[in-house]
Amino acid sequence: MKNFDFSVPTKVLFGEGKLNELKDYLGNMGKKGLLVTGKSSMRKTGVLDRVIKLGKESGVEIIVNEGVEPNPTSDYINHMSKLVRKEGCDFLIGLGGGSPMDAAKAISLLAINDGVIEDYLPGGKYEDMANVLGALPIVAITTTAGTGSEVTMFSVITNKKTKEKPGIGHQCLFPVLSIIDPELMVSVPKHITLSTGVDVLFHALEAYICTVATPLTDMYALEAIKLVLENLGDVLEDGSNLEKRSKVAWANTLAGMAIVQASTVGIHGMGHPIGGHTNSPHGMTMAALGKAFLDKTYDGDIDRYSNITKILGYDCEGLSKKECAAKSGEALQRVLDRFGAHVTISDLGVKEDMIETLAKDAFKTMGGCMAVSLKELDVEDAISIYKSSL
Ligand code: NAD
């Protein structure tokens, strides 16, 4: 059996009503924290006020900034890191979806390290993260079931100047505390439930078809796929169904733990550049590329891809294993169509003359994901996958 290491050093509070337990932990984080969130949803739903109140009850001061945009930018991170230093904050809270959680992580990194966030992105002077001193403690309160950021060591930041959208990763970016309370997700509108739910599916799928999968990540990934297939459709029909929301939230947590120990592959690797150049909803960039990616790579591991075809519900009766593996892209597309996630990269704003840049960006900024795909890929392969997805 394959050897592997495993560690998710985050205290996870999972379940309905778990937000209330925040007050039991905040006091241990320090005296003053910066909470970052998006422009309106957390205020409108009353969740922001609840968190501020819980802060007061635990005797900590919480400074609030509601300026996180979807796909957070380097400019925002650099600006907020100055504020954190000036205010002498002891910890960060990211409240919302992946964007506020990732922003909190990146700000916490800059709070005690030199430079601007671009220095830590690919091509920057600290890109190897070798001399990182640590980060301020991060509390992640997720309100979407999508990115898994609440249990990962990754932060995804869009470089405003280059339009690149790389992920950075470091052990110090694991949140110390994560709250996954499905009650906070009931207000997520249908189109965001879809794009985030699709992201969960891709995290799990990609963790299963990467070279660094382990028995443990396979277990997480396969359970997460099953939970999404069984529950996401019902949540899309009725967003107030808390039991089903909980199951998709659990799939999200499992898939996040799977990618942190294994990895995503070229689907995320090629999806990020689309997000960087078009600001598209993250999950839909994967939906647009998934079939073409599987069609291109299925012969990299016939066993794993044929398993995926069957798990996605395709009947392989009468087919050889190789024929079954070759159907993985079609099986995935059927699932996406059933959820209403039929999308092309043209729909997301990609034009044919952007493709070469996107393909090069994928290898420059997401090279780690490109490298662990089960079939070796080069820039020409990426170009052909993008072209098939137009
Ligand atoms: P998001 O955080 O950008 O939020 C999308 C929209 O949903 C926002 O307008 C927000 O206001 C709204 N929203 C969030 N919660 C809501 C709620 N409870 N009710 C109503 N509206 C709500 O979306 P996301 O998909 O969660 O995160 C995407 C970001 O996460 C991207 O930048 C992506 O690259 C990144 N990401 C990070 C990781 C990681 O491991 N760090 C993994 C995957 C993706």
Tell me the pLDDT tens digit for each residue of 58-96. 999 999 999 999 889 999 999 999 999 999 999 999 999
Q: What is the mean pLDDT of residues 202-230?
A: 97
pLDDT at 164: 87
One-letter amino acid identity for 74? Answer: S
- DSSP symbols for 275-316: HHHH---HHHHHHHHHHHHHHHHGGG-HHHHHHHHHHTT---
> What proportion of the chain, given as a percentage, has pLDDT over 70?
100
One-letter amino acid identity for 5? Answer: D
> What proportion of the chain, given as a percentage, has pLDDT over 90?
94
* pTM of the model as a whole: 0.95
Q: What is the mean pLDDT of residues 312-339?
A: 98
Domain 190-388 indexed as CATH 1.20.1090.10: yes
pLDDT at 382: 98
pLDDT at 4: 87
Residues with CB under 6 A from ligand 1: 38, 41, 45, 70-71, 96-99, 102, 143-144, 146-149, 152, 154-156, 184-185, 187-188, 192, 196, 199, 275, 282
Cβ-contact 127, 159 below 8 angstroms: no
**CATH architecture of the domain covering 11-185:** 3-Layer(aba) Sandwich (3.40)
Cβ-contact 297, 377 below 8 angstroms: yes
pLDDT at 160: 82
For ligand 1, the distance from its centroid to the CA atom of residue 340, given in whole angstroms, is 19
Please tell me the residue having the least CA distance from ligand 1 atom 27.
98
Q: Facing residues of 68 across strands?
A: 38
Q: Quote the Cα angle for 189-289-101, to 5°.
A: 45
Alpha helices in 27-139 (DSSP H): 41-44, 47-57, 74-87, 98-111
For ligand 1, the distance from its centroid to the CA atom of residue 281, given in whole angstroms, is 8
For ligand 1, the distance from its centroid to the CA atom of residue 71, given in whole angstroms, is 8
CA nearest neighbour of 297 among 353, 369, 226, 195: 369
Euclidean distance between CA atoms 14 and 297, whole angstroms = 36
pLDDT at 69: 92
Ordered by start, the domain boundaries in the chain are: 11-185, 190-388
Alpha helices in 60-210 (DSSP H): 74-87, 98-111, 190-208
CA nearest neighbour of 22 among 46, 43, 47, 41: 47
Q: Does the pLDDT value for residue 163 go beyond 90?
A: no
Beta strands in the chain (DSSP E): 11-14, 32-38, 61-68, 91-96, 138-142, 154-156, 167-169, 177-180
Q: What is the mean pLDDT of the chain?
A: 96
What b/e sequence results for 311-335 when a residue is b if at least 16 CB atoms lie within 10 Å of its CB, and e otherwise? Answer: bbebebeeeeeeebbbbbbebbbeb
